[in-house]
Structure 1
Amino acid sequence: MTDAQATLPETPNSNEATDQQLKAKRKKALSLVALLFAIVLVLFLIWKFVFNNTVTTDNAYVGAETASITSMVTGQVAEVFTSDTKQVKKGDLLVQIDPRDAEITVAQAQAELLKAQRQFKQTQANSSSLSSQIYVSSDAIQSATAQVAKAKADLAKAQDDYNRRVQLSSSGAISKEELSTSKASVNTAKAVLDVAQAGLAQAKSSQKAAQSNLEANEALIRGANEQSTPDVLVAQAKLKQALLDLERTQIKAPLDGVVTRRNIQVGQRVSPGTSLMMIVPENQLYVDANFKESQLEKVRAGQKVTLTSDLYGDSVEYTGTIVGFSGGTGAAFALIPAQNATGNWIKVVQRLPVRIQLDPKELEKHPLRVGLSMEAKVDLKSK
C-alpha cells in the first residue's frame, strides 16, 4: 500500500511536466517558423528594392555606323595612300584617280563659258547694229516716199500732155508720131511710179524686219547681263560640274576611323558606285544588347547602362545610355522567319535588340572594335 500510495500522487505531476515540455517545444517551433518567415520576408524585400533594380544580358555586341568609300567618277586609280587597319583622320587623302581626263573636261567647260559670254556681247552689238538699220531704213522710206511723189507728179504731167495732144490730133495739129511719143511717156511715167512705190514698200518691209530682229535680239538679253544670261548660266553649271568631278578624283576620308575591307589597287579602273573600302569610326560606337522579352517591362530609353567587354574584362567598365529599341525581334527580321502557325509550335522566349550609345571619352581611353562581345547591366532606377 505504501508503494501504491507513493506512486498515485506522482502521476498528475508527471503529466503536467510533459504538457509544459510540449508547450515549450511548440512555442519554440512557432518562434522558429516566425523567425524563418521574417528572414524570408526581409530577403524578399531586399531583393525587391535592392537587387531587382537591374536587368543583365551577355548577348550584346559592339556596332558602328560605318562609312562606305565609293568612287563618284570614272577613271584609273593612280595611287592608294592607305591600307587595312590604318587609322585615318577626316580629310586625309585615301585614293588618287588619274585627273587628266577631268582636267580636259574643265578646260572645255571654261572655253564654252568664254564662248557664251562672247555670244552675249555679240548679241548686245547686234542690237546696236539693228537700231542703226532702223534709222537707216527710216531715211530710205523718206527717200522712197519722195520718189513716189515725184513719179506721181511726172505721171500727172505726162497724162496732161497726152490729153492735150489727143485733142489736137483730131484737128490735125500734131502728127500721129508725136501722139504716140506722148502716150509712151505716160506709160513710162506709170512704170516709174510703180518702181517708186515698190521701192517704198521694200523700204517699209526692211524697217519692219529690222524692228522684228531687234525685238527678238532684245528678248534674248532683256533683264540679263554677261553673267546671268541663260547660255552663260548653263556654261557656268557645266564648269562647276567639271570642277567638282576634278575634285572628286581625290577621294578623302569623311570621318576619323580605321580602314577596313580595302579592295582597290593601283591601275584598277573604277566607275561611279565602285566600293573602294570602309572606314569604321572608333569614337562613335554603340552596343546592341539583346534582352529577353520578360526583362523589358521596366526598361526605358534614357536609362543608364553599365557595360563590360570580354576584351578588357571586368576591370574596365563603360557607361552607356539607352537610345532606342528595335522595331522587332531578331526572329521577326530573320532571313527565314519562324512559322508559328504550324502544328509543331513550341514557345521560345524572344529577344529584342536595345541600342546603347557609348561614351566617346571612354572609347578614347579603351578602344573597342565592331563585333566584340559585351555584357550590359541596365539600371532601372535611372531616368
Structure 2
Amino acid sequence: PYQDHDKAIASLDSARAQVDNAKSVLAQARAELGEADANNPEIRAAVATLEGAELELSYATVEAPVNGYVTDLTLSPGSYASVGSPMLSLVNTDSWRIVAYYKETQLERMRPGQPASVYLPAYPGVRFEGSIQGIGWGVEQQDGDGARGPDGVPSVTPTVDWVRMAQRFPVRITIADEDPDHPLRKGMRATVRIDTSGTSITTGVE
C-alpha cells in the first residue's frame, strides 16, 4: 500500500512538472509570436503591407461618380493615360435634362416644379414626363453663338436685327423616368410643352 501511495505521489509530481513545462513552452511561444491583437508588430506590418497593396490597386481603377455611357473613347489595351488629357467622355444617365429657351413674355406663368411634356422627333408619338428644374436669371444682350458670354451667362442670338424681339431665357427641364425602350441621347432635339394651370406653352429645342 505504501508503495502504491508513493507511486501515486510520484505520478502526481510528474504530471505537475509536465504542466509547468507546458506552461513554460506556451509562454515562450506567446513571447515569440507577440500579442494576438493589433499591437503585435508582425500583425501591424502585415496590415500595413495589405493596405499599401490595396492603395496601389485603387490607383489602377477609375470609377465614375455616376451611371452612364462611355463615348469618344481614345484608349486601347496597353495605352497609357496622360495627366490632363481626356481619354473618354461619359454621358450621365442618372439625370436627363433639357434646356428649352422660352420667350421672356412666357416666363411669368412658369414656376419650378411645374409639369412638362417632352416629345422627341426620334420617337414620334412618345411622350416623356418632366418638370421645370429651374429658370435662367440672365442672358447676354448682344449677339452671340449660344455659348456663355463674358459675364458667364448664356448668350442667345436674336432672330432678326430690325425688330425688337422678346429675349429668350433658358428653362431647365428634367425627365422624370427614362424609358428603356426609347433611350435618350445627349444632343437630341425636342419639343417641350409646359402646363401652366390649364394653359400650355410650347417651344422647340435645338
**Unmatched runs of 5 consecutive residues or more in structure 2:** 1-30, 32-37, 156-160, 199-206
Matches within 5 A, 1:49-128: none
Corresponding position: 1:334 with 2:174: no
Matches within 5 A, 1:3-14: none
Deviation at 1:284, TM superposition (A): 2.5
Partner of 1:325: 135
- Number of residue pairs aligned between Structure 1 and Structure 2: 148
Partner of 1:245: 56
> Which of the residues 154, 167, 180 maps onto 1:364?
180
Corresponding position: 1:351 with 2:163: no
- Between the aligned partners of 1:330 and 1:283, the Cα distance in structure 2 is 30
SS of alignment partner, residue 250 of structure 1: coil
Contact 1:304 1:378 in 2 (8 A): yes
- Between the aligned partners of 1:359 and 1:381, the Cα distance in structure 2 is 20
Contact 2:129 2:177 in 1 (8 A): no
Contact 1:330 1:353 in 2 (8 A): no
Structure ranking higher on relative contact order (CA contacts 8 Å, 6+ apart): 1
Query: Structure 1, residues 150-206: CA drift from partner, whole Å, max 9, x if none?
Result: xxxxxxxxxxxxxxxxxxxxxxxxxxxxxxxxxxxxxxxxxxxxxxxxxxxxxxxxx
2:69 alignment partner AA: V
- Between the aligned partners of 1:297 and 1:272, the Cα distance in structure 2 is 47
Partner of 2:103: 292
SS of alignment partner, residue 88 of structure 2: strand
1:249 alignment partner AA: A
**Unmatched runs of 5 consecutive residues or more in structure 1:** 1-120, 122-224, 339-343
Deviation at 1:272, TM superposition (A): 4.5
- Between the aligned partners of 2:100 and 2:140, the Cα distance in structure 1 is 11
Corresponding position: 1:311 with 2:122: yes
Deviation at 1:282, TM superposition (A): 3.7
Deviation at 1:254, TM superposition (A): 4.8
Q: CA RMSD in A?
A: 3.7
- Between the aligned partners of 1:295 and 1:241, the Cα distance in structure 2 is 59
Check 1:226–1:299 CA distance in 2 against 1; reply closer, same or farther (3 A cut).
same
Contact 1:286 1:356 in 2 (8 A): yes
Check 1:241–1:353 CA distance in 2 against 1; reply closer, same or farther (3 A cut).
farther
Check 1:245–1:330 CA distance in 2 against 1; reply closer, same or farther (3 A cut).
farther
Contact 1:309 1:375 in 2 (8 A): yes
Identify the structure with the greater helix proportion.
1
Partner of 1:226: 39
1:292 alignment partner AA: K
Check 1:351–1:240 CA distance in 2 against 1; reply closer, same or farther (3 A cut).
farther
Deviation at 1:357, TM superposition (A): 0.9
Taking structure 1 as the reference length, what is the TM-score of the superposition?
Answer: 0.33
- Between the aligned partners of 1:259 and 1:373, the Cα distance in structure 2 is 21
Taking structure 2 as the reference length, what is the TM-score of the superposition?
Answer: 0.57
Greater C-alpha Rg = 1
Deviation beyond 6 Å, 4+ runs, structure 1:
none
Partner of 1:375: 191
SS of alignment partner, residue 97 of structure 2: strand
Check 1:330–1:245 CA distance in 2 against 1; reply closer, same or farther (3 A cut).
farther
